[in-house]
Amino acid sequence: MERYKMLINGTLVDADSGKTFTTHNPANGDVIAEVPLADKSDVDKAVAAARKAQKPWARKIQEERSEAAAMIAAALKENKDELVRLEISEHGATARHAPIMIDFAVKNIELAAAGARTLMGNVLPVTPSKGAPPGESNTVVYMKREPFGVCALITPWNVPTLLIATKIAPCIATGNTCVLKPPTLNSGIGLKIAEIISKLDLPSGLINVITGPGGSIGNYLSSHPGIDFISFTGSSEVGKDIIAASSKTVKTTMMELGGKNPVIILEDADVEAAAEELCGITFENVGQNCAQPSRFYIHEKVHDLFVEKFVGTANAIKIGVPEDPDTVMGPVVSKTQRDSIENFIKIALDEGGKMVCGGKRPEGPEFEKGFYLTPTVFTDLTSDMTISREEIFGPVVGMYKFSSDQEAIDAANDSVFGLCASVWTKDYARGLKIVNELEVGSVWINQHMNLVAETPWGGYKESGLMKEGGVIGPEGYTQLKYVCIKHN
């Protein structure tokens, strides 16, 4: 078992209370790490350190701030093997998936460091002010981007290193300081990153990392008067709680929340190829992705063929221990999460859904202690069923028939969520017409969940507020000031 400390004001520390909690390996239940259990006094210290560091940091030239972010990217790259090991042991990521996430995290930091250097004000032409000589302007106007101040960064458990990197880099590169609260379930990963950062030549208080439950520490951080901005990724329910808590002090919030993402398969698509590709995407990270395809709307002419190919591919997925390089699907993150998923499966059956694949725990000695499930597919569903409405965040999806494009569009939009979607067709004009009608933040044609470092991310409706990351990533961590100067 490894023991970690929090990072406050440049120093690795225990919680004031001395209390700790443990994290576990979802593949076998073994204890992985002992981490500090922060309380309000630890939050107060972290926020105070960030506030003290923020003004001097904001006065730094942009080159220095971007170099600090780039330094973190280099340090994560240097410690890649250790971070991959933790992603596998504490999160349950597979040996093939974990390195991809660390590389993606490094690229996100590098892009934010570079992007912040080009985020500049604009000088605007204006009407001459009263008293100016004819034909001359004695007024200059420009827009200036400034940091919010101290940011609370609250990250999820499903892609821990990636989301920490995606938030920290644009935050500090634009002149903010931060208090990071990593997910409780895999806090060891967040504190390992804190340990790596603590060894760098960075100002004390620039980045502070505290660990504890979202219901106590997260809520206190969200309402804290010393916090100016909140960036949160997680469920819509928790996001709403954070928005409510932050409203007491009118903070700006960036929210990347839940999804119930539709896929539309038109009759002219390469149906078998689409089914095989989408199956791999659907059950990546055991379906624990906010962008997971989860509602499949398939034209009635090709519905049966698509389902047959999808189910055949799902049944062939290798489920195994995460360390095995051949494993495609490991365990879900915790017993609580598996219990929740199994409850959704039961509800779907009780409400009349037909389970055509999975719905059980895999058998074998290697699966006895871990939190494993098989890929699960339902058909014969209606739009009012629970499985059609709620985000399951696991390896469970539903299949639906449609007969017209408008029927598919209406069904796809019939959700409180609006994160992402995809359309599969050989007729790009037809596909674009559908894309333009979908109420989501990201749409793909003939692919799904294809993301690179340059891609901004965020949704419509209850899937969140603002876009995060990508080429516009640093903008989200700044506020815009209008400046007008009259000169003689």
Residue 126 has pLDDT above 80, yes or no: no
The Cα 237–Cα 84 span in angstroms is: 30
CATH of the domain at 154: 3.40.605.10
| Average pLDDT of the segment spanning 460-485 | 94
User: CA 435, CA 447: separation in Å to the nearest integer?
Assistant: 13
CA-closest candidate to residue 484, choices 138, 148, 174: 138
Whether residue 131 is found in the same domain as residue 113: yes
Q: Reading across the β-sheet that carries 478-486, which strands appear in turn?
A: 122-124, 139-147, 478-486
How far is it, in rounded angstroms, from Cα 307 to Cα 378?
A: 10
How many C-beta atoms surround the C-beta of residue 192 within 10 A?
23
Total count of domains within the chain: 2
Q: Is 90 in the active site?
A: no
Q: Are residues 173 and 318 in the same domain?
A: no
Q: Give 484 or 187, the one with higher predicted confidence.
A: 187
Say how far apart CA 43 and CA 179 lie, in whole Å. 8
Catalytic residue among 87, 90, 110, 256: 256
Strand, coil or helix: what is 289?
coil
Tell me whether residue 378 is in a domain: yes
State yes or no: is 290 an active-site residue.
yes
DSSP-derived 3-state class of residue 417: strand
CATH code for the domain of 328: 3.40.309.10
Question: Residues 228, 333: one domain?
Answer: no
> Are residues 215 and 95 part of one domain?
yes
Residue 136 sits in the same domain as residue 81? yes
User: In the prediction, which pLDDT does 128 show?
Assistant: 63
- Which of these is catalytic: 5, 87, 151, 167? 167
Residues 283, 432 within the same domain = yes
Phi and psi torsions of 479, nearest 5° = -120, 150
pLDDT digits (tens, 9 = 90+) for 39-81: 999 999 999 999 999 999 999 999 999 999 999 999 999 999 9
d(Cα 473, Cα 418) in Å, to the nearest integer?
20
Q: Are residues 150 and 15 in the same domain?
A: yes
The whole-number average pLDDT for the span 321-333 is 96
- Average pLDDT, integer, range 126-150: 77
Structural domain includes residue 101: yes
The predicted model gives 430-451 an average pLDDT of 97
pLDDT higher than threshold 80 for residue 188? yes
DSSP 323: T
The reply to whether 32 falls in a domain is: yes
Report the alpha-carbon angle 13-15-16, nearest 5: 105
Q: What pLDDT is stored for residue 118 in this prediction?
A: 85
Residue 247 CB neighbour total at 10 angstroms: 12
Sequence-distant (6+) residues with CB within 8 A of 38 are 6, 15, 210, 211, 212, 217
Compute the distance between CA of residue 213 and CA of residue 206 in angstroms, rounded to an integer: 23
Q: Look at residue 215 and tell me whether its pLDDT is greater than 90.
A: no
pLDDT value, residue 455: 92
Out of 279, 290, 357, 420, which one is annotated catalytic?
290
Q: Are residues 22 and 104 in the same domain?
A: yes
Please check whether residue 311 is in contact with residue 377, taking contact to mean a CB–CB distance below 8 angstroms. yes
Q: Which of 193, 185, 144 is nearest to 166 (CA)?
A: 193
- Do 229 and 125 reside in the same domain of the chain? yes
Percent of the chain with pLDDT over 90: 91
Nearest Cα neighbor of 438 from 413, 464, 466, 417 is 413
Assess whether 151 carries a catalytic annotation: no
Same domain, 250 and 148: yes
Tell me what percent of the residues of the chain surpass a pLDDT of 70: 96
pLDDT tens digits, residue range 151-162?
999 999 999 999
Q: Is residue 457 part of a domain?
A: no
Q: Is 250 within a domain? A: yes
- Domain interval for residue 70: 2-257+464-486
140-153: pLDDT as tens digits: 888 899 999 999 99
Residue 371 in domain: yes
Are 41 and 106 found together in one domain?
yes
Residues 400-420 pLDDT 10s: 999 999 999 999 999 999 999
Task: Tell whether 458 is covered by a domain.
Answer: no
Residue at 459 is within a domain? no
With beta carbons less than 8 A apart as the criterion, state whether 265 and 424 touch. yes
What is the structure's pLDDT at 152?
98
Residues 240, 263: Cα–Cα separation, whole Å: 26
**Mean pLDDT to the nearest integer, 166-190:** 97
Choice among 90, 284, 462, 468 that is catalytic: 468
Domain check: are 309 and 328 in the same one?
yes
Kindly indicate the confidence band of residue 124, based on its pLDDT and cuts at 50, 70 and 90. Answer: low
Q: Are 322 and 27 in contact (CB under 8 A)?
A: yes
Average confidence score pLDDT of the chain: 95
pTM: 0.94
Q: Give the model confidence (pLDDT) of 229-281 as tens digits.
A: 999 999 999 999 999 999 999 999 999 999 999 999 999 999 999 999 999 99
64 is a catalytic site residue: no
Amino acid at residue number 185: L
Query: Residue 153's beta-bridge partner residues?
Result: 180, 231
